[in-house]
Structures are given as C-alpha cells and as structure tokens.
Amino acid sequence: MADALQQRIDFIKAIDALKEVQRKTYLLTESRFENSAEHSWAVATMALTFASYAPEDTNINRVIYMLLLHDIVEVDAGDALLYDDAARAAKAIQEKEAATRLFGLLPEEQGREFRAIWDEFEAEESQEAQFAAALDRFIPMLHNLETEGRAWRENHVSYQQVIDKNQKIEKASPELWEYMHTRIKVAVNRGWLAP
Amino acid sequence: MADALQQRIDFIKAIDALKEVQRKTYLLTESRFENSAEHSWAVATMALTFASYAPEDTNINRVIYMLLLHDIVEVDAGDALLYDDAARAAKAIQEKEAATRLFGLLPEEQGREFRAIWDEFEAEESQEAQFAAALDRFIPMLHNLETEGRAWRENHVSYQQVIDKNQKIEKASPELWEYMHTRIKVAVNRGWLAP
C-alpha cells in the first residue's frame, strides 16, 4: 500500500483531468464552453457568497465540500446536457463506478468520508445537498440569461423544460427561485427560450 | 443601490473572468496552461483532502474560503510567474485596487468580510493563511514534477529559486515540505531544474 500522503497526491493528480471536461455552458464572455473544474470553483464560491439564502441552520461548509467534489466523477463519465435524459441516465451508472475508482485512491477512511459527501449530494435529501444542487442549477441558468440564452437556443430548450428541471430550487431557496423565475419569463419574452 | 441579491449576482458575474486568466503552470496532460479559476478549485479541494497535514487547530474551512477567493484579484491584475520578482511587485499594487473594486460589488458587510479573508491570506500571518499559501505553492511544484519540470525548464528556474520561494511550506507543514523537498532534489538529478 502506498503511504497515505502519496495516496492523497494520487487523488489530486487524478482529478486534475476535470479541467478538461467540457460542459454545455458558455463562459460569460462566450469565448468558449466552461469546464467542470472551473465550474466547481464558481459554484463553491457562490455557496460562500450566497450562504444567507440557504435554509436556517444549513451547514454551509458541508455545502462547499459537496460542490468541490460533486463533479469529479466526470473525470471518467464526462458531462451531459441537463435536458438530455437518456445521456444523463447512462452517465449515472458510469458516475457510480467513477466514484468507486476515484475515492478508492484515497486512504480508506478519507475515501469513505468523501464518498459519503458525494452520495449525500447525489441523493438531494439533506438541506445541504438541496442547497448545493440549487446553486449547481442556478449558475448555468445565469450564464444563459447573460448570453441571450445561447446554450438554450443551441440546444432548443423550452421554458417548460427549464421549469421542470430547475423548479426544485424553490424548496432550497425561495428567494433565489423567485429571482430566477422572473428572469426566465423575461428570457421567453425576448425569444431566448422556446415558449 | 442595487438590492443585496443583485449585488451578489454582480460579484459572481465579475469573477467569472478568472476562468480566462492564464497561469504559468501546465495541466498534468500538458495540453495547455491552467487558468486561475480551475487552479482555485484544485487548491481548495487539496485543502479539504490534506487537512490533516495542517498544524493542530487549523480552521480548514477558513483555509478553503481563502483559497476560493485568493486569486479573484487576477481578474484585473493577471497572473505573474512566481520567480519574476519585478512582475510580482507591479502586480501587488494592481491587486489591492482589484480587491477594492471586486469586494466593493458586494453588500457592504459581506464585502468587508471577504476583504478580510483576502487580506488575511495575503498577510500570511495566521496559521490558516500559512497553510493556504503552502498549498498554493505546493500544487504548481507538483505539476512541474509530473511534467518533467516543463514550466521550470521553459522559464530557466533554478533549484535555489525554488527553495527560496517555497521553503516556507516547511513552517506550515513539515511533512508536505519533506515530501516536496525530496522530489525537488530528484528533479535536479534528472535535469528538470537547473542546479
């Protein structure tokens, strides 16, 4: 067995590949798609910034841990469009295998702890996981709204799809959902999102 | 005054530009330079993973907050090579102005809190700031060691420069420094780093 320090180094090395996983969301400048590593930074930083919009007694540090780790399985499984149900179902199986491989690189106890953080995020049952998931949904919508719906238009996404996939934000943070819902309706009026 | 939610949105929008600030460090695949946003994710995730190497009673959450925010000033000031003292001195002034601008986008109290986190990181006095700085130094060296010293070779960096700039890791984490110092000596033997 490698020593614990080397195991942790190996984990950090393995997840570096997340910087090369391309998402379906454009940067705000629209110069390119964003990648899953920089997205993970943005959404973790958003959690720190928007902590006051979480339900009372939410452990924001746990939210940040989840958001730092939530996408690392994409190192093996890649990203899939939120609105592509078939691709996402196929990806879910690969993600579980990726979680086993990646968290398995760590010393056993830490691997279990990180896997529990990831599983908690995926289950979306705890208020921390629900708030983390809400931010993970919020931020790509913000990028669409700031780029005249570019990724929505390119993928022929409709208002109803956006509502169906994202309305759960409301439970985690009514205030964030109200803001977003108002802007989504404006986007439909402007033709950025199919009615 | 914009309402507090819109101020926070404006902050998140402004720091998106960090994804387009190119660092002098290569990805482990060497496909390109890394950017400061994905670096921030990597080093914050490293803090979570390497928390047990911090001095006793280190507040690891504070370390993570620092690492999420530490580079955002590069949105205005850009990145500079660690070993280019003149560039780094010029950058330090721009960074303070950038901090005033960016944290000034936030609601006043939160802007002060975030500025205090950034100032604490910059000062490198608290054990949290010293551990955060140690990881921020550790990870680019790891990338050099895993790419046959590519960025070191391209910038004609010497062993003594690496020691001078990075030995402070030892104070924050003797174990991490011992690991790194051993590998740096191997790098010299292999010709990845000028003796």
The whole-number pLDDT of residue A83 equals 87
pLDDT in tens, B10-68: 999 999 999 999 999 999 999 999 999 999 999 999 999 999 999 999 999 999 999 99
Q: To the nearest whole angstrom, how far is the Cα of A132 from the nearest Cα of chain B?
A: 16
Cβ–Cβ < 8 Å for B76, A50: no
Cβ neighbours for A175, distance < 8 A, ≥ 6 positions apart: A53, B5
Q: Do B65 and A53 touch (CB under 8 A)?
A: no
Longest Cα pair distance anywhere in chain A, in angstroms?
A: 60
Q: B88, B82 in Cβ contact below 8 A?
A: yes
Strands B33-35 and A33-35: unpaired
Residues B16, B111: Cα–Cα separation, whole Å: 17
Domains in chain B, CATH or no CATH each: 2-189 (1.10.3210.10)
Residues B49/B176, Cβ–Cβ less than 8 Å: no
pLDDT digit string, tens, across residues A49-83: 999 999 999 999 999 999 999 999 999 999 888 88
For the record, the structure tokens of A40 come out as: 């993970």
Contact B5 A38 (CB under 8 A): no
Q: Which amino acid is at A1?
A: M
What is the pTM for the complete model shown? Answer: 0.97
What's the full length of chain A, in residues?
195
pLDDT tens sequence across A162-188 = 999 999 999 999 999 999 999 999 999
Which amino acid, A163? I
How many C-beta neighbours within 10 Å does residue B86 have? 8
Say whether pLDDT at A1 is over 50: no
Provide the token pair at B143.
Answer: 């990338």
- State the average pLDDT over residues A154-161: 95
| Amino acid present at A118 | W
Residue B2, pLDDT score = 60
Whether B27 and A19 lie within 8 Å, measured CB to CB: yes
Question: Which SS3 state, helix, strand or coil, does residue A26 take?
Answer: strand
Give the CB-side neighbour count of residue B26, counting CA atoms within 13 A: 18
Q: In chain A, where do the E strands start and end? A: 22-26, 33-35
- Which residues of chain B make contact with A177, given a CB cutoff of 8 A? none
Q: Which of A6, A7, A8, A12 to mutate to test the interface with B (most CBs of B within 10 A)?
A: A12
Chain B residues in contact with A46 by the CB 8 A cut-off are 12
